[in-house]
Amino acid sequence: MADAAALWISGSLAEKIRAHGAETYPHECCGALLGRDSSAVLESDGGKSALRPAREILQLFPLVNRRDDSPRNRFSVTAEDVLTAEKAAREQGLEVVGWYHSHPDHPARPSEYDRDHAWPWYSYIIVSVQNGAPQEMTSWRLNDDRAEFSPEGIEIRHRAAV
């Protein structure tokens, strides 16, 4: 896996993910994260500067959960939807860098099912929705060996990378 990168997202986009989770409750919501990777970002911490990789989310592409047989605890994005999201990203000079979904009445932690179906490299944002109200939001990346996810720090920024 690449070095642990920060996931930058604006407060309004983070709020849109939460709102999507609340809107589809008790079903799972899902959508694509459009953005880009910044290979290095100058960070200033107490006068010290450091280079750090960051991934910035600049737009969302909400999708319809295709799992109509079990939408409370499963979500599915078809290959056709993936191609549509990729096209939307390309048109804006971005790429699909990850996916978000909600966990109705469950914690914002990836399940075994999430891990089993995950792709590497993508960021997977999960928002927990308890009794219809969005709660904790986390982000994860699958490790190279597929054995587990690593948490990815979400940083709320007004404007992401340079």
Residue ranges in contact with another protein by CB under 8 A: 2, 28, 30, 67, 70, 73-79, 81-83, 95-97, 99, 101, 103-106, 110-114, 116-122, 124, 144-146
Q: What b/e readout covers 19-28, taking b as 16+ CB neighbours within 10 angstroms?
A: ebbbebbebb
Q: Smallest distance, Å, CB 144 to another protein? A: 7
Q: Are 8 and 157 in contact (CB under 8 A)?
A: yes
**Pairing, β 149-152 against β 133-142:** antiparallel
CB atoms within 10 A of CB 117: 12
Q: Smallest distance, Å, CB 155 to another protein? A: 22
* Residue closer to another protein, measured from CB, 20 or 101: 101
Query: What DSSP state is assigned to residue 24?
Result: H
* Residue closer to another protein, measured from CB, 8 or 27: 27
* Residue closer to another protein, measured from CB, 83 or 133: 83
Q: Smallest distance, Å, CB 32 to another protein? A: 8
Q: Which residues pair with 127 in a beta bridge?
A: 102, 137
Q: Smallest distance, Å, CB 81 to another protein? A: 8
Q: Are 133 and 121 in contact (CB under 8 A)?
A: no
* Residue closer to another protein, measured from CB, 8 or 140: 140
